[in-house]
Amino acid sequence: MTLPLTGPPPALPAPVRSPASARALRLTLSLLPLLLIVAWAAVDLRTVREGTARLAAADPGWLLAASLFTCLGWVAAACVRQGAVPERLPPGLLLASQFAAGAANHVLPASLGAHAVTLRFLQKRGVPLARATASLALYSLVRPVAKTVVLVVFVLVAPDLLRFGDLVPDNWALLLTAGGALAGLAVAGVIVAVVRPLRRPVLGFLRTALSDARLLHTMPGRYLPLWGGAAATPLLQGSVIACVGFALGLPLSWAQVVLALLVASTAVGAVPAPGGIGPVDAALVFTMAAFGAPVGLATATVIGYRVLTVWVPLLPGALVLSALVQRKVL
Protein backbone atom coordinates (compact mmCIF):
# COMPACT_ATOMS: atom_id res chain seq x y z
CA MET A 1 0.00 0.00 0.00
CA THR A 2 1.39 3.35 -1.02
CA LEU A 3 1.49 5.96 1.72
CA PRO A 4 0.50 9.53 0.82
CA LEU A 5 3.37 11.91 0.44
CA THR A 6 3.70 14.68 3.00
CA GLY A 7 5.54 17.97 2.88
CA PRO A 8 5.71 20.67 0.23
CA PRO A 9 5.68 19.65 -3.40
CA PRO A 10 9.01 19.70 -5.22
CA ALA A 11 9.95 23.10 -6.64
CA LEU A 12 9.65 23.49 -10.37
CA PRO A 13 12.88 24.24 -12.20
CA ALA A 14 13.35 27.90 -13.12
CA PRO A 15 12.90 28.65 -16.80
CA VAL A 16 16.19 28.95 -18.63
CA ARG A 17 16.44 31.66 -21.25
CA SER A 18 18.28 30.46 -24.30
CA PRO A 19 21.01 32.64 -25.89
CA ALA A 20 18.85 32.96 -29.02
CA SER A 21 15.88 34.35 -27.06
CA ALA A 22 18.18 36.72 -25.16
CA ARG A 23 19.58 38.05 -28.45
CA ALA A 24 16.06 38.44 -29.86
CA LEU A 25 14.99 40.38 -26.76
CA ARG A 26 18.04 42.64 -26.98
CA LEU A 27 17.37 43.26 -30.68
CA THR A 28 13.74 44.12 -29.96
CA LEU A 29 14.71 46.56 -27.23
CA SER A 30 17.33 48.18 -29.45
CA LEU A 31 14.85 48.66 -32.31
CA LEU A 32 11.99 49.89 -30.11
CA PRO A 33 13.30 53.49 -29.77
CA LEU A 34 13.58 53.81 -33.55
CA LEU A 35 10.03 52.53 -34.05
CA LEU A 36 8.67 54.99 -31.47
CA ILE A 37 10.49 57.85 -33.18
CA VAL A 38 9.03 56.92 -36.57
CA ALA A 39 5.52 56.85 -35.08
CA TRP A 40 6.02 60.19 -33.31
CA ALA A 41 7.46 61.81 -36.43
CA ALA A 42 4.41 60.75 -38.43
CA VAL A 43 2.15 62.47 -35.87
CA ASP A 44 4.19 65.69 -35.49
CA LEU A 45 5.59 66.03 -39.01
CA ARG A 46 4.09 69.50 -39.57
CA THR A 47 5.90 70.99 -36.56
CA VAL A 48 9.20 69.51 -37.67
CA ARG A 49 8.79 70.85 -41.22
CA GLU A 50 7.82 74.36 -40.10
CA GLY A 51 10.55 74.56 -37.47
CA THR A 52 13.21 73.31 -39.86
CA ALA A 53 12.19 75.88 -42.48
CA ARG A 54 12.43 78.70 -39.95
CA LEU A 55 15.81 77.54 -38.68
CA ALA A 56 17.13 77.30 -42.24
CA ALA A 57 16.54 81.05 -42.66
CA ALA A 58 17.93 82.02 -39.23
CA ASP A 59 21.34 83.43 -38.29
CA PRO A 60 23.75 80.44 -38.33
CA GLY A 61 26.05 81.98 -35.71
CA TRP A 62 23.33 82.12 -33.08
CA LEU A 63 22.17 78.62 -34.01
CA LEU A 64 25.71 77.35 -33.49
CA ALA A 65 25.72 78.93 -30.02
CA ALA A 66 22.34 77.32 -29.32
CA SER A 67 23.76 73.92 -30.34
CA LEU A 68 26.68 74.41 -27.95
CA PHE A 69 24.33 75.18 -25.04
CA THR A 70 22.26 72.12 -25.99
CA CYS A 71 25.33 69.89 -25.68
CA LEU A 72 26.22 71.49 -22.34
CA GLY A 73 22.74 70.57 -21.15
CA TRP A 74 23.59 66.86 -21.45
CA VAL A 75 26.81 67.48 -19.50
CA ALA A 76 24.78 69.18 -16.75
CA ALA A 77 22.35 66.24 -16.64
CA ALA A 78 25.26 63.82 -16.30
CA CYS A 79 26.67 65.91 -13.43
CA VAL A 80 23.35 65.78 -11.58
CA ARG A 81 23.07 62.03 -12.10
CA GLN A 82 26.61 61.47 -10.78
CA GLY A 83 25.95 63.72 -7.81
CA ALA A 84 22.90 61.66 -6.85
CA VAL A 85 24.82 58.40 -6.20
CA PRO A 86 27.85 57.81 -3.95
CA GLU A 87 29.44 55.35 -6.40
CA ARG A 88 31.73 56.78 -9.07
CA LEU A 89 30.33 56.28 -12.57
CA PRO A 90 32.37 56.13 -15.80
CA PRO A 91 32.09 59.68 -17.26
CA GLY A 92 31.96 58.66 -20.92
CA LEU A 93 29.28 56.03 -20.50
CA LEU A 94 27.34 58.29 -18.12
CA LEU A 95 27.29 61.08 -20.70
CA ALA A 96 26.27 58.62 -23.43
CA SER A 97 23.47 57.28 -21.24
CA GLN A 98 22.12 60.80 -20.67
CA PHE A 99 22.25 61.53 -24.38
CA ALA A 100 20.29 58.33 -24.98
CA ALA A 101 17.97 59.13 -22.08
CA GLY A 102 17.08 62.38 -23.81
CA ALA A 103 15.63 60.40 -26.73
CA ALA A 104 13.64 58.17 -24.38
CA ASN A 105 12.50 61.18 -22.36
CA HIS A 106 10.75 62.71 -25.36
CA VAL A 107 8.68 59.57 -25.95
CA LEU A 108 7.30 58.88 -22.46
CA PRO A 109 5.70 61.49 -20.15
CA ALA A 110 6.92 62.81 -16.79
CA SER A 111 10.59 61.93 -17.47
CA LEU A 112 9.75 58.21 -17.23
CA GLY A 113 11.87 57.39 -20.26
CA ALA A 114 14.99 59.13 -18.93
CA HIS A 115 14.51 57.62 -15.47
CA ALA A 116 14.10 54.12 -16.92
CA VAL A 117 17.31 54.44 -18.96
CA THR A 118 19.22 55.85 -15.99
CA LEU A 119 17.90 53.18 -13.61
CA ARG A 120 19.03 50.45 -15.97
CA PHE A 121 22.42 52.12 -16.40
CA LEU A 122 22.95 52.38 -12.63
CA GLN A 123 22.00 48.75 -12.07
CA LYS A 124 24.42 47.64 -14.79
CA ARG A 125 27.13 49.63 -12.96
CA GLY A 126 26.48 47.61 -9.80
CA VAL A 127 24.38 50.17 -7.92
CA PRO A 128 21.74 48.37 -5.79
CA LEU A 129 18.14 48.84 -6.87
CA ALA A 130 17.14 50.65 -3.67
CA ARG A 131 20.01 53.13 -3.98
CA ALA A 132 19.43 53.62 -7.71
CA THR A 133 15.74 54.33 -7.11
CA ALA A 134 16.62 56.73 -4.29
CA SER A 135 18.98 58.58 -6.64
CA LEU A 136 16.12 59.09 -9.11
CA ALA A 137 13.98 60.53 -6.32
CA LEU A 138 16.80 62.84 -5.22
CA TYR A 139 17.35 63.93 -8.83
CA SER A 140 13.64 64.67 -9.24
CA LEU A 141 13.61 66.68 -5.99
CA VAL A 142 16.80 68.67 -6.48
CA ARG A 143 16.00 69.94 -9.97
CA PRO A 144 12.78 71.85 -9.13
CA VAL A 145 14.30 73.14 -5.89
CA ALA A 146 17.36 74.44 -7.73
CA LYS A 147 15.15 75.95 -10.44
CA THR A 148 13.08 77.75 -7.80
CA VAL A 149 16.26 79.12 -6.23
CA VAL A 150 17.44 80.41 -9.62
CA LEU A 151 14.01 82.03 -10.17
CA VAL A 152 14.15 83.73 -6.76
CA VAL A 153 17.68 84.98 -7.47
CA PHE A 154 16.54 86.44 -10.79
CA VAL A 155 13.67 88.26 -9.10
CA LEU A 156 15.87 89.59 -6.28
CA VAL A 157 18.69 90.73 -8.56
CA ALA A 158 16.42 92.47 -11.08
CA PRO A 159 13.06 93.17 -9.41
CA ASP A 160 12.13 95.87 -11.93
CA LEU A 161 13.27 93.96 -15.01
CA LEU A 162 9.84 92.62 -15.88
CA ARG A 163 6.19 93.08 -15.03
CA PHE A 164 4.59 90.05 -13.41
CA GLY A 165 1.04 91.35 -13.18
CA ASP A 166 -0.30 89.30 -16.07
CA LEU A 167 1.60 86.17 -15.03
CA VAL A 168 0.82 85.81 -11.34
CA PRO A 169 -2.31 83.68 -10.80
CA ASP A 170 -5.13 84.94 -8.61
CA ASN A 171 -5.66 83.85 -5.01
CA TRP A 172 -8.18 81.16 -5.91
CA ALA A 173 -5.76 79.53 -8.37
CA LEU A 174 -2.99 79.55 -5.77
CA LEU A 175 -5.30 78.06 -3.14
CA LEU A 176 -6.47 75.33 -5.51
CA THR A 177 -2.88 74.46 -6.43
CA ALA A 178 -1.77 74.32 -2.80
CA GLY A 179 -4.88 72.33 -1.84
CA GLY A 180 -4.30 69.83 -4.64
CA ALA A 181 -0.68 69.30 -3.59
CA LEU A 182 -1.63 68.81 0.08
CA ALA A 183 -4.48 66.46 -0.87
CA GLY A 184 -2.13 64.36 -2.97
CA LEU A 185 0.34 64.05 -0.10
CA ALA A 186 -2.47 63.18 2.32
CA VAL A 187 -3.86 60.48 0.00
CA ALA A 188 -0.39 58.99 -0.44
CA GLY A 189 0.13 58.94 3.33
CA VAL A 190 -3.24 57.27 3.94
CA ILE A 191 -2.56 54.61 1.29
CA VAL A 192 0.82 53.78 2.83
CA ALA A 193 -0.71 53.66 6.33
CA VAL A 194 -3.68 51.49 5.33
CA VAL A 195 -2.13 49.09 2.79
CA ARG A 196 0.25 46.98 4.86
CA PRO A 197 2.19 45.41 1.93
CA LEU A 198 3.24 48.91 0.84
CA ARG A 199 4.39 50.06 4.26
CA ARG A 200 7.64 48.13 4.52
CA PRO A 201 9.02 48.87 1.00
CA VAL A 202 8.03 52.55 1.22
CA LEU A 203 9.65 52.98 4.64
CA GLY A 204 12.72 51.12 3.43
CA PHE A 205 12.93 53.37 0.40
CA LEU A 206 12.62 56.48 2.56
CA ARG A 207 15.35 55.27 4.91
CA THR A 208 17.68 54.56 1.99
CA ALA A 209 16.92 57.91 0.35
CA LEU A 210 17.53 59.90 3.55
CA SER A 211 20.69 57.96 4.35
CA ASP A 212 22.10 58.47 0.86
CA ALA A 213 21.16 62.17 0.86
CA ARG A 214 23.04 62.70 4.13
CA LEU A 215 26.04 60.78 2.80
CA LEU A 216 26.15 62.67 -0.50
CA HIS A 217 26.08 66.05 1.23
CA THR A 218 29.26 65.13 3.10
CA MET A 219 31.07 64.55 -0.23
CA PRO A 220 31.99 67.74 -2.17
CA GLY A 221 32.54 65.62 -5.26
CA ARG A 222 28.85 64.74 -5.17
CA TYR A 223 26.83 67.67 -3.82
CA LEU A 224 28.68 70.24 -5.94
CA PRO A 225 27.81 68.58 -9.29
CA LEU A 226 24.37 67.68 -7.93
CA TRP A 227 23.30 71.23 -7.09
CA GLY A 228 25.54 72.97 -9.62
CA GLY A 229 24.25 70.89 -12.51
CA ALA A 230 20.64 71.30 -11.36
CA ALA A 231 21.03 75.10 -11.16
CA ALA A 232 22.81 75.25 -14.51
CA THR A 233 20.14 73.23 -16.34
CA PRO A 234 17.44 75.96 -16.60
CA LEU A 235 20.09 78.56 -17.42
CA LEU A 236 21.38 76.41 -20.28
CA GLN A 237 17.85 75.71 -21.55
CA GLY A 238 17.04 79.41 -21.42
CA SER A 239 20.27 80.17 -23.26
CA VAL A 240 19.27 77.79 -26.05
CA ILE A 241 15.89 79.53 -26.38
CA ALA A 242 17.52 82.96 -26.28
CA CYS A 243 20.03 82.06 -28.99
CA VAL A 244 17.28 80.66 -31.22
CA GLY A 245 15.25 83.81 -30.57
CA PHE A 246 18.21 86.06 -31.40
CA ALA A 247 18.72 84.10 -34.62
CA LEU A 248 15.10 84.86 -35.56
CA GLY A 249 15.11 88.47 -34.35
CA LEU A 250 13.30 88.08 -31.01
CA PRO A 251 13.18 91.51 -29.25
CA LEU A 252 13.90 90.19 -25.74
CA SER A 253 17.08 90.10 -23.68
CA TRP A 254 18.76 86.93 -22.42
CA ALA A 255 17.53 87.60 -18.88
CA GLN A 256 13.97 88.07 -20.09
CA VAL A 257 14.00 84.80 -22.04
CA VAL A 258 15.50 82.82 -19.16
CA LEU A 259 13.00 84.31 -16.72
CA ALA A 260 10.17 83.53 -19.13
CA LEU A 261 11.28 79.90 -19.22
CA LEU A 262 11.55 79.74 -15.42
CA VAL A 263 8.07 81.18 -14.97
CA ALA A 264 6.50 78.98 -17.67
CA SER A 265 8.12 75.73 -16.55
CA THR A 266 7.30 76.43 -12.90
CA ALA A 267 3.66 77.13 -13.76
CA VAL A 268 2.95 74.01 -15.85
CA GLY A 269 6.06 71.87 -15.42
CA ALA A 270 4.13 69.27 -13.42
CA VAL A 271 1.84 68.41 -16.35
CA PRO A 272 2.91 64.91 -17.49
CA ALA A 273 3.67 65.59 -21.16
CA PRO A 274 6.56 63.86 -22.97
CA GLY A 275 9.63 66.01 -22.42
CA GLY A 276 7.44 68.88 -21.27
CA ILE A 277 6.30 69.39 -24.87
CA GLY A 278 2.88 70.96 -25.16
CA PRO A 279 1.94 72.66 -21.89
CA VAL A 280 5.39 74.20 -21.34
CA ASP A 281 5.53 75.37 -24.96
CA ALA A 282 2.16 77.11 -24.72
CA ALA A 283 3.06 78.70 -21.39
CA LEU A 284 6.43 79.82 -22.76
CA VAL A 285 4.83 81.51 -25.77
CA PHE A 286 2.31 83.23 -23.50
CA THR A 287 5.03 84.36 -21.08
CA MET A 288 7.29 85.78 -23.78
CA ALA A 289 4.30 87.55 -25.31
CA ALA A 290 3.52 89.05 -21.89
CA PHE A 291 7.11 90.27 -21.74
CA GLY A 292 6.65 92.15 -25.03
CA ALA A 293 7.52 89.70 -27.81
CA PRO A 294 5.21 89.32 -30.83
CA VAL A 295 3.16 86.13 -30.53
CA GLY A 296 4.19 84.87 -33.99
CA LEU A 297 7.88 85.39 -33.30
CA ALA A 298 7.61 83.83 -29.84
CA THR A 299 5.88 80.80 -31.38
CA ALA A 300 8.57 80.50 -34.06
CA THR A 301 11.26 80.68 -31.36
CA VAL A 302 9.68 77.87 -29.34
CA ILE A 303 9.21 75.71 -32.44
CA GLY A 304 12.83 76.29 -33.46
CA TYR A 305 13.97 75.50 -29.93
CA ARG A 306 12.06 72.20 -29.96
CA VAL A 307 13.44 71.23 -33.35
CA LEU A 308 16.99 71.97 -32.22
CA THR A 309 16.78 70.26 -28.82
CA VAL A 310 14.33 67.42 -29.58
CA TRP A 311 14.21 66.51 -33.24
CA VAL A 312 17.82 67.10 -34.29
CA PRO A 313 19.34 64.89 -31.54
CA LEU A 314 16.44 62.43 -31.44
CA LEU A 315 17.66 60.01 -34.11
CA PRO A 316 21.32 60.07 -32.93
CA GLY A 317 20.08 59.62 -29.36
CA ALA A 318 17.97 56.62 -30.39
CA LEU A 319 20.95 55.10 -32.20
CA VAL A 320 23.12 55.58 -29.10
CA LEU A 321 20.36 54.01 -26.99
CA SER A 322 20.20 51.02 -29.33
CA ALA A 323 23.99 50.66 -29.25
CA LEU A 324 24.08 50.78 -25.45
CA VAL A 325 21.40 48.08 -25.29
CA GLN A 326 23.25 45.86 -27.77
CA ARG A 327 26.53 46.24 -25.85
CA LYS A 328 24.72 45.43 -22.57
CA VAL A 329 25.55 48.83 -21.07
CA LEU A 330 21.78 49.15 -20.50
The helix-helix angle for 129-157 and 196-216 (nearest 10°) equals 60
Question: What length does the chain have?
Answer: 330
* CB-based contact 82:222 (threshold 8 Å): yes
Q: At a CB cut-off of 8 Å and minimum separation 6, what does 219 contact? A: 86
Compute and round to an integer the Cα radius of gyration of the chain: 23
Please report the pLDDT score of residue 113 as a whole number.
80
* CB-based contact 131:211 (threshold 8 Å): no
Return d(Cα 282, Cα 289) in angstroms, integer. 11
Please report the pLDDT score of residue 68 as a whole number.
95
Coil, helix or strand at residue 13: coil
pLDDT in tens, 262-285: 888 876 655 555 555 567 777 888
Q: Phi/psi at 109 (nearest 5 deg)?
A: -80, 165
Please report the pLDDT score of residue 47 as a whole number.
58
Burial class from Cβ neighbours inside 10 Å (0-12, 13-18, 19+) for residue 68 reads middle
Q: Which DSSP string corresponds to 137-183?
A: HHHHHHHHHHHHHHHHHHHHH-TTSS--TTTS--HHHHHHHHHHHHH
Q: Which stretches of the chain score pLDDT less than 70?
A: 1-52, 106-110, 159-205, 267-278
Return d(Cα 75, Cα 67) in angstroms, integer. 13
> What is each CA distance from 108 to 102, 116, 146, in whole angstroms?
10, 10, 24
pLDDT in tens, 160-212: 665 544 454 444 444 554 555 566 556 656 665 666 666 666 666 677 778 88
Residue 235 half-sphere exposure toward CB, CA atoms < 13 A: 13
Please report the pLDDT score of residue 91 as a whole number.
92
Model-level pTM greater than 0.85?
Answer: no
